[in-house]
Amino acid sequence: MEDSLKIWTEKYRPNKFSEVYGHKKIVKKVKAFVEKGNMPHLLLAGPAGIGKTTLSLVIAKELFGDNWRSNFLETNASDERGIDVIRNKIKDFARTKAVDTNLPKIIYLDECDSLTKEAQQALRRTMETYSGTARFVLSCNYSSKLIDPIQSRCAVFRFKPLLKEDIAELVDSIASAENLKVTDDAREALFDVSGGDVRRVVNTMQSCSVVGDTIDKEAVYEVNNFVKPKDLDIVLLMAIDGKFVEAREKLLKIMLNNGLSGMDIIKQIQSEILRLDLESEVKLKMIEKCGETEFRLVEGSDEFIQLEAMLASFGLFKK
């Protein structure tokens, strides 16, 4: 595989709507906007690494063809959060007409939920004033952090992590292009560790390919410092059977060997509980305890004490 994620995205990033992985309903609606040449302001909301920026670039390429770079402005609000960015950089770009077309320009504002309230107020007015020469595509993780006047000016599309079949299609595409062999177990593991995040899939395959041309689940877990599900199952079943000391020692060993924090391990434990062959009532109590433990960790409690308390409570639930 070539040397970096940047090279991969330049080489394989979609240039057409038909090449976008997942989000078929969203792509269909956006494609209709582009075909009619009547783009509204868009708000793309969802987790990181699932295609919001990619879809924005495809919109620009489909609308403007070879001139898309001249008619497309991409800014990251987490780097430039203040009101001056809206008043100067974005406003200057928005007030001029597009090159070689009567269509409005596209301004892509990434992580716009990081904008200050004052900048959002200025943005709202800019969107209204220059709608004849520019359309805004706003991208964020949490749309609730944007003021209502901005949300009401946009067609809102909510993205979700890619499904397993979409990740499998992406993995097969990369493996075919780079002459890699990916085992069936590795495909499952790539989906588990990525959680539907395309960037993590690409980075993981990039790292695994350095070791060899065959990617298996062991390599995937090792690259991501991800605990093998079997090891976590053993810890959880020990705790449920009342073998607290053994479960505690094995959990601490797993954390030390993999360099995991309490927050890392609690998320994996929560996912693994759902796969255990236990009564639903026991699972419910365990999940509830995971949530309580995670809250205490966020508040700054000692992670080892909290994880020990969680394992101890698991032993009580079965009884």
**Strands 181-182 and 41-45, how do they pair?**
unpaired
**Side-by-side strand order, sheet with 72-76:** 72-76, 105-110, 134-140, 41-45, 154-158
pLDDT in tens, the chain (319 residues): 445 444 445 566 677 888 788 888 998 999 999 888 888 999 999 888 888 888 999 999 988 888 888 899 888 766 666 666 677 778 888 888 888 888 899 999 888 888 888 888 888 888 888 888 999 999 998 888 899 999 999 999 999 888 888 888 888 888 888 888 988 888 888 888 888 888 888 888 888 888 788 888 888 888 887 888 888 889 999 999 889 999 999 998 888 887 788 888 898 898 888 888 888 888 888 999 999 999 999 998 888 899 999 999 998 876 5
Q: What is the pLDDT of residue 225?
A: 77
Alpha helices in 130-279 (DSSP H): 148-152, 164-178, 184-194, 198-211, 217-223, 229-240, 244-258, 262-273
Q: What is the pLDDT of residue 7?
A: 47
- 267 conformational bin, left if phi > 0, alpha if psi -120 to 50, beta if neither: alpha
Domains of the chain: 23-158 (3.40.50.300), 164-223 (1.10.8.60), 229-318 (1.20.272.10)
Residue 275's identity, in one-letter code, is R
Q: What is the pLDDT of residue 9?
A: 54
CA distance 58 to 62: 6
Q: What is the pLDDT of residue 82?
A: 63
Q: What is the pLDDT of residue 77?
A: 64
Q: What is the pLDDT of residue 81?
A: 62
Q: What is the 3-state secondary structure (H, E, C) of 32-93?
A: HHHHHCCCCEEEEECCCCCCHHHHHHHHHHHHHHHHCCCCEEEEECCCCCCHHHHHHHHHHH
